[in-house]
Amino acid sequence: MDKALFIVLIVVVVALVIMCGLLLRRRPEAPAVPVLTEDIARQLMAHVSATQSDPVSTEEVDRLRSEAEQLRQDAAQALEESRVAAAANAEKIRAGATAQADAIRQEARQDADAQRRELRSEVEQIRSRAEEEGRRQAELASTRLQSDRADLIIAQKALRESSEQLGRELKSFDKDRAATLQQRAEVSAAQTALETRAQALRDEGQALQDREKELAARAAELAARAVEHDRELERVGGLTAEEAKAQLLSKMEEQVRREAGIMTRRIEVEAEATAKQRARAIVADAVQRVASDQTAQSVVSVVHLPADEVKGRIIGREGRNIRTFETVTGVNVIIDDTPEAVLLSCFDPVRREIGRVTLQMLIDDGRIHPHRIEEAFERAGDEVEALCRRAAEDALLEVGIGEIHPELMVHLGHLKYRTSYGQNVLGHLVETAHIARGMAYELGVEPTALVRGAFLHDIGKALTHESLGSHAIVGADLARRYGESEDVAHCIEAHHDEVAPNTVEAVLTQAADSCSGGRPGARRESLESYVQRMERIEAIAGAKRGVEKVFAMQAGRELRVMVKPEVVDDIEAHMIAREVAKQIEEELTYPGQVRVTVIRESRATEIAR
């Protein structure tokens, strides 16, 4: 019984060993477990065989049984561990395969989505390009249609204007032809009247010659009688001819002065009767031909700031920005307590304007530092030069003269920022050219050279800070250098009498210059010249005999002279007013006119006791 049980155990153990071996062959990666090997099994079989041939003791059987039980337990434990390890490995392999399959599926899905998106993007691009092309074609067609419609409207407008202009020209031609016929008739009538007047003058001349012969004979006879009369007077009066002549001249001088005063007063009364009407006509003509603005002297440029904090940015750290600005532009920056404003001062008006534009650019941009100042200065210089060229072109267009040299255009543009006694020089040139053209038409003078000379007569003022000499001489040299004619250059150099004028154009240029500079509101005097002129006016009147007090009023445009009534009579008062006015005209230069009023007041005073 014991042997049979033992054999069964051996068979079970062998079966377990074979099963473990099969499991190990299938899962070589499973962890190793303590199992029975074939060598151990052979040893067991040998031991069993030995035990079958030899008698076995009870202790030996128990020992073998315990060992077999232990081996069975070990085999069971190894089998269980192998099964667990195999299940874990199978689960791991299943999880790995599932993850790999999911990854492959995900990659396939992503590739499909990417291809779908690319196809959709290409389709959208093709559709957008097609829509854009269609839209562009539609806009191009619409633009062409609008352009054609605008061209048609412009052509229709030009046709209407041409028709209206043709109608006006036809009407003007008819009026001019009628005026010409009327002028011819008037000229014929005037010629006939002149011939009649000439014949009458010839007859009067013959009569005057006959009368002259009679007067000569009468004068000879009177001379002989005068000699005899003088001798008789010397004998009767006890005076020589020279003494009598001196007394007679003294009496005649006093009489002539009184008669001259009376005649002057009568002429003034007659002139006053027509002065207002004549003055209105002159002023109306001047206003019609030239209507210019009032001007004011400008010696500094004011730049307005958005806030007072900008002053600190203009100054910069330790004055770095303001020093760089003054060095680059050559313009002095004056920062005082004036709220939200700074002043720019410079002797050159063009440079001062460039500095103003530069500072305005920096303020508008908000970035103020040395490098930015240099960039803004370059851009401001280009901008001011463009403004100067535009101003010169506008002036040429307004005056209506031909082209001039480009260098002269540059100098003319610079005169846009130059003033003389508060009057803008470029505006003064345009005004002088208009006045000169009006004078030329009134006098029948060819206006081409006159208008050109009047327009360029102050061109030298653009270089007075760079060249030595009078601006008239500098301007004439500049005009000759750039191809202007000698007549134009002579008008320029003679308009201030540095060179004596020897042409009609030069004289008319002087007159036009005086009219433009002397009109009311054209110029403004400085305080020093104003005080000197007031003092000289009072000194001229105070030097006359019998003057007691002199008052210059209304900025020198009215002078009141108080005379002593016991020394100066009414006739002499008129003579004093006339002499003072004439001396002021000869010695002083002033805008407008000066009214001289002589006041002679008689007072009778008695004391009652």
Q: Is the pLDDT of residue 142 over 80?
A: no
Whether 233 shows a pLDDT value over 70: the answer reads no
Q: Indicate the SS3 state at residue 266.
A: helix
Paired residues of 343 in beta bridges: 302, 334
Q: How far apart are alpha carbons 399 and 453 in whole angstroms?
A: 12
Burial class of residue 192, CB neighbours in 10 A (0-12, 13-18, 19+): exposed
In 3D space, the residue among 311, 309, 331, 328 whose CA is nearest the CA of residue 371 turns out to be: 328
Mean pLDDT within 577-604: 82
How sure is the predictor about 137, in pLDDT bands with cuts at 50, 70 and 90?
Answer: confident
Residue from 89, 64, 71, 65 nearest 16 by CA: 71
The DSSP line for 114-140 is HHHHHHHHHHHHHHHHHHHHHHHHHHH
Q: pLDDT (tens digit, 9 = 90+) per residue, 393-446?
A: 888 888 888 788 888 888 888 888 787 766 788 888 888 888 888 888 887 888
Share the mean pLDDT of the chain: 77
Residue with tokens 């046709």, as numbered in its chain: 159
Of 30-39, 88-97, 335-344, 543-552, the poorest mean pLDDT is in 30-39
> Residue 559: beta bridge partners?
552, 596
pLDDT in tens, 281-337: 554 554 445 444 433 345 577 888 888 788 888 888 888 888 888 888 888 888 877
- CA distance readout (Å), 118 to 109, 131, 132: 14, 20, 21
pTM: 0.41
Strands 558-563 and 547-553: antiparallel
Please give the C-alpha separations between residue 302 and each of 42, 239, 322, 335, in angstroms, as whole numbers: 123, 82, 16, 11
pLDDT attached to residue 526: 55
Averaged pLDDT for residues 357-366:
87
Kindly report, residue by residue over 240-275, the tens digit of the pLDDT. 667 767 777 777 777 777 777 777 777 777 777 776
Contact 276, 411 (CB under 8 A): no
Chain segment 27-68, per-residue pLDDT in tens: 444 444 444 445 555 555 555 555 544 444 567 667 767 776
State the pLDDT at residue 283.
47
Quote the CA–CA distance of 492 and 472 in Å, as a whole number: 6
- Per-residue confidence at 172, pLDDT binned at 50, 70, 90? confident
Residue 571 DSSP SS3 = helix
**pLDDT over 70, % of the chain:** 79
Give the residue from 367, 372, 405, 409 showing the smallest Cα distance to 392.
409
H or E stretch covering 332: strand 332-334
Give me the pLDDT at residue 80, please. Answer: 80
Q: pLDDT at position 28, please?
A: 46
- Phi, psi dihedral angles at 332 (to 5 degrees): -85, 135
Give percent of the chain above pLDDT 90: 0
Task: Give 541's Cβ-side CA count (13 Å radius).
Answer: 29
Tokens at 13, concatenated: 């153990």
The H-assigned helical ranges of 316-446 are 320-329, 349-365, 370-399, 406-414, 425-443
State the DSSP code for 96.
Answer: H
Q: Would you list the DSSP string of 153-189?
A: HHHHHHHHHHHHHHHHHHHHHHHHHHHHHHHHHHHHH
- Looking at residue 520, its pLDDT comes to 59
- The whole-angstrom separation of Cα 244 and Cα 284 is 57
| pLDDT at position 191 over 60 | yes
The residue among 72, 84, 99 whose CA lies nearest residue 9 is 72
DSSP bridge pairs for 344 = 301, 333
pLDDT at 7 over 80: no
In this prediction, residues 77-100 reach a mean pLDDT of 77
Contacts of 550 (CB under 8 A, 6+ apart): 538, 541, 542, 559, 560, 561, 562
Residues 452 and 401: their CA atoms lie apart, in Å, by: 7
Note whether 557 and 593 are within 8 A (CB): yes
* Residue 48: both structure tokens together: 């069993």
Q: Give the Cα separation of 14 and 7 in Å (integer).
A: 10
The answer to whether 434 and 508 have CB atoms below 8 angstroms apart is no
| Rounded-to-integer distance, Cα 212 and Cα 205, Å | 10
User: Cα–Cα distance between 460 and 195 in angstroms, integer?
Assistant: 51
Q: Which two tokens stand for residue 474?
A: 């500098």
- Are the beta carbons of 309 and 354 closer than 8 angstroms? no
Rounded CA-CA distance 251/241 in Å is 15
Q: What pLDDT does 501 receive?
A: 86
Largest CA distance in the chain: 227
Q: At residue 570, does pLDDT exceed 80?
A: yes
